[in-house]
A and B are shown apart, each in its own frame.
Chain A
Amino acid sequence: MATVHSDQRSATAALAEAPVLAPGHSYGSITDKISSIVLTKGTSRGWLFGLAISFMLVQVFLVSVVYLIARGVGIWGINVPVGWGFAIVIFVWWVGIGHAGTLISAVLLLLNQSWRTSINRFAEAMTLFAVVCAGMYPLLHLGRIWLFYWLMPIPNTMGIWPQFRSPLLWDVFAVSTYMTVSFLFWYTGLIPDLATLRDRAQNRFGKVTYGILSFGWRGSARHWRRFDAAYLLLAGIATPLVVSVHTVVGFDFAMSIIPGWHNTLFPPYFVAGAIYSGFAMVLTLAIPLRAAYGLQDFITDRHLENMAKVMLATSLMVSYGYVMEVFFGFYSANTYEEYLTRNRMVGPYAPAFWSLILCNVLTPQLLWFRAIRLSPVLLWCIAIVANIGMWLERFVIVITSLHRDFLPSSWGMFYPTFWDWSTYIGTIGVFFFLLFLFIRFLPVISIFEMRELLHKSEEEHHHD
């Protein structure tokens, strides 16, 4: 696409010390390696084991949902001061995780970052599955789930419409649009790869299935020209979308009058947190994935390092958010804001707050060191800590702001019940169940973009 200027070439060469694609690959070897994950006969024991475990967790989820609908939301630990419990905490957590996928696939595409190529596909899949998990919570936490369609502006016999001033309604539009656009973006990128799988499938069933899914892609110049335009446009649409979606999620809190929620910092701070937790989840998945399927040539140390750097950068933004929250808590000279800040630090949920600081502020500081960034094991551990930390962040924001606010007579505590946990663990099962199916039936790395990457690096070699 863009021609490499001579002054940029030295910078590119410096970066090339850890390449985004290990040397020695041809178009054929890239295609073989990635498509073999899908097209091998028989399934590996590890995959079957993972699928079985996640399938059992899906059952846990289904049981929790059926029991929830049968008995009502009172089976959860929510009460009158804390009306939003795990359902919202975990909704925000899952939505946040989803955002890194869009960031990798859309923002890095707009910024012409070649290292996105080998991680964008499964990051997008991760987005999609995380949004599936997230999207269930706004429905499940309704007391009357069967009336959820009242949230949509559908002409109806009641002559009434949803309230367009509520951020919870914006959530409906934000999440459903986000899910649709993420799916379209992911699927558009899949079409050339599905055509590759169609051409390489050994049996008729595979040929027909991937043939139907690839819509008769022939890879002509006209196809590619339009494909590139559409892909770039979708990236352009997805980028403001990812920012606005988590902003809207931040508005759920920031639009309220609750101390600890009514905070103008929330929209950017939530987005930064989303990117932080999302990249943590990408690392959580990418490190085992490349080990299990031997993808070290494609997901190189350079990728891990870059993702670690993004994590570090966003962790600093999130830390800035924590500092500002505390600062404005006292600078406001507002009794309630001051009390909220103090309550978070020394109140009944202080352990959650301090663990959050440990997970999101202190631990990521290790990422300043190159040796740690390059160690997959340590990086994976830090990513897990970040996932926990971002879970705690949402817990602290939702619960500590609600359980003690203006009137001491309405102070309470929130204790999650068995069903809070089972629903949460169940959605993790749903996520991994979909992810395992994705790994087995669709290419986890974009084949055509890897071939393009190879083409570009070969061209650069010729110039040298």
Chain B
Amino acid sequence: MPQIFHPSMNTISRASIFGAAFILAGVGGFIWLIFRSSYTTQVGVVRPQPVEFSHEHHVSGLGIDCRYCHTSVETSSFAGIPPTATCMTCHSQIWTDSPKLEVVRASYRTGESIPWTRVHDLPDFAYFDHSIHVAKGVGCVSCHGRVDEMPLMWRAKTLHMEWCVDCHRNPEPHIRPRDKVFSMEPLPAPPAPERDAEPGASNVAIDLMQAHQIASETNCSVCHH
């Protein structure tokens, strides 16, 4: 009876067994990448806007405080996108004939809102509240990145639930004094571990946690009601 399989089948069968491990690892890695890549999370991806508004220019260049435009951030769940009227407080006098601002002027004339593209868009089953985070000493920079260095807006963080929950479980490294919330300065390096062991040494982060009365809230009702 002739042989059914050529001796090269030995190699093929071995390769198919070991190859399966690589294929599985590859498929798993690919799925992991899809969920974590900036293609899905939009981290670092500049979104086109109807007006080329530059936070870099208005914050770093002109030194405008965040709250000048995002007025409700300390009092409301929604930080708010400024209305055209806010733009026109200055731009009715400055750059009045710039073509870049034509959309803003048109909006002011017609009363139609500027169709901004929302960069930080959470799904509507997550009820995020800005004011509580500001009140408890979470700086803008912790979640939105160095907005003062962004010519156009992009996402600095994934907005994954995992990212929210990580901070809610361990807020200490992200808490700053209330008067530094709107500062773009990065937080000081976390205290060295041996400081905790030293009796009587004050740990800034723990003090802030107590001062702001922060409880580590991770139950579903906090965000999903």
Contacts and interface: CB of A to CB of B under 8 A. Distances in A.
A208 B4 contact: yes
Interface stretch (B91-99, B154-162, B174-182, B200-208): B154-162
Given A156-B35, A157-B35, A157-B36, A198 B162 contact: no
Interface string B143-184: 000000000000000101110011000000000000000000
B162 A158 contact: yes
Contacts of A207: 4
A156 B47 CA distance: 26
Contacts of A204: 4
A159 B4 contact: no
Interface string A184-207: 000000000000001000001001
A101 B16 CA distance: 31
Interface in A124-183: 156-160
Contact of B4 (A156, A157, A211): A211
A157 B160 CA distance: 6
Interface size class of A (residues with CB under 8 A): 10 to 19
Interface in A189-240: 198, 204, 207-208, 211, 216
B125 interface: no
A159 B35 contact: no
A208 B12 CA distance: 14
A157 B5 contact: no
Contact of B158 (A156, A157, A211): A157
Contacts of A211: 4-5
A215 B224 CA distance: 53
Contact of B160 (A158, A198, A208, A216): A158
A204 B158 CA distance: 56
A207 B3 CA distance: 10
Contacts of A159: 160-162, 165-166
Contacts of B5: 208, 211
Of the listed residues A156, A157, A158, A216, the one surrounded by the most CB atoms of chain B closer than 10 A to its CB is A157
Nearest to B220: A160
Contact-size category for B: 10 to 19
B4 A160 contact: no
Contacts of A216: 13
A198 B4 CA distance: 9
A208 B166 CA distance: 54
Majority SS at the chain A contact face: loop
Interface in B1-27: 4-5, 13
Nearest to B218: A159
Contacts of A198: 4
A149 to B, nearest CB: 10
A198 B3 CA distance: 12
A166 to B, nearest CB: 16
Nearest to A210: B4
A159 B162 CA distance: 4
Nearest to A158: B161
Contact of A156 (B13, B162, B166): B162
A204 B13 CA distance: 19
A201 to B, nearest CB: 9
A154 to B, nearest CB: 9
A143 B160 CA distance: 24
A204 B3 CA distance: 11
Contacts of A160: 161, 165
Nearest to B41: A157
Nearest to B169: A159
A464 to B, nearest CB: 38
A156 B160 CA distance: 10
A369 B64 CA distance: 96
A161 to B, nearest CB: 11
Contacts of B161: 157-160
A22 B99 CA distance: 98
Q: Which of A156, A159, A160, A198 has the most CB of B within 10 A?
A: A159
A157 B31 CA distance: 12
A373 B83 CA distance: 86
Contacts of A156: 35, 162
A159 B223 CA distance: 14
A396 to B, nearest CB: 36
Contacts of A157: 35-36, 158, 160-162
Contacts of B162: 156-159
A198 B162 CA distance: 53
Contacts of B35: 156-157
Contacts of B36: 157
A44 B34 CA distance: 50
Interface in B110-151: none
A402 B51 CA distance: 59
Interface in B29-70: 35-36
Nearest to B32: A155
A159 B35 CA distance: 13
A451 B140 CA distance: 78
A94 to B, nearest CB: 29
B44 to A, nearest CB: 17
Contacts of B13: 216
A156 B13 CA distance: 34
Contacts of B158: 157
Contacts of B166: 159
Given A157-B35, A157-B160, A208-B4, 20 more contacts: A156-B35, A156-B162, A157-B36, A157-B158, A157-B162, A158-B160, A158-B161, A158-B162, A158-B165, A159-B160, A159-B161, A159-B165, A160-B161, A160-B165, A198-B4, A207-B4, A208-B5, A211-B4, A211-B5, A216-B13
8 contacts: A156-B35, A156-B162, A157-B36, A157-B161, A160-B165, A208-B4, A208-B5, A211-B4
Interface of A: 156-160, 198, 204, 207-208, 211, 216
Interface of B: 4-5, 13, 35-36, 158, 160-162, 165-166
Q: Which 7 A-B pairs have the closest CB atoms?
A: A159-B162, A157-B160, A158-B161, A159-B165, A211-B4, A207-B4, A157-B162
